[in-house]
Amino acid sequence: MSEYTVKVQQHKTEAVEALKNQFKDISTYIFTDYRGLSVEQISELRAKLREQQAQLKVVKNRFAKIALKELDRPDVGDILTGPTAVALPGDEAGPVAKTLIDFAKDTPLEVKGGIIEGMVYDFAQVEAFSKLPTKLELISMLMSTMKAPVQNLALVLNAVPQKLVRTLQAVADKKQAEG
């Protein structure tokens, strides 16, 4: 019997390598089904994602599975079915997920799931993730919480001289009224 060998075409190998290069520095991938979207809608979605330093890339499922496997990412074979576009956040994933969820409300876009920081999320989990505050919002909350005691102390310390000034003014007004 002869040995069975698989001959992989060069352009397919190059396509997988290109995907690996795009995926290698990213830890979050949000997979969508773009079926039914018009060209204008896809362009609008890409523009919204670009504002958040993210990109939307249409991928072949088989190539994406191979690239993710070679990069030791979790298996998402059940998510990678049908027409697939993957959103690749550049900085923070929360706003990107929120944009996709909001865009899907008015269009035929369907968020399938994703890999967020190495964990596989289904649609419900991606939706819950999109509702979390962003990093900047969390820092803002922390700073306002840290600022409150100092601000209250300043108000208390400032109240003593203000009360003294008001008392002196009341005495002066009373003496002036008396003559």
Segment 93-121 shows an average pLDDT of 91
Out of 54-63, 74-83, 100-109, 134-143, least confident range: 134-143
**pLDDT value at residue 60:** 92
pLDDT at 27 > cutoff 90: no
Backbone torsion region of residue 43, taken as left when φ is above 0, otherwise alpha when ψ lies between -120 and 50, otherwise beta:
alpha
**pLDDT value at residue 179:** 67
pLDDT at 2 > cutoff 70: no
pLDDT at 1 > cutoff 60: no
* Average confidence score pLDDT of the chain: 87
With H, G, I as helix, E, B as strand and everything else as coil, classify residue 52: coil
pLDDT at 44 > cutoff 90: yes
Q: Minimal CA–CA distance to 109: which of 148, 83, 145, 72? A: 83
Domain covering 10-132, topology: Alpha-Beta Plaits (3.30.70)
Segment 53-65 shows an average pLDDT of 92
Q: For the chain, which residues make up each domain, given as ranges?
A: 10-132, 133-179
CA–CA separation, 147 vs 104, rounded Å?
39
Segment 93-97 shows an average pLDDT of 90
pLDDT at 36 > cutoff 70: yes
**pLDDT value at residue 120:** 92
Question: Of 136 and 121, which is predicted with more confidence?
Answer: 121
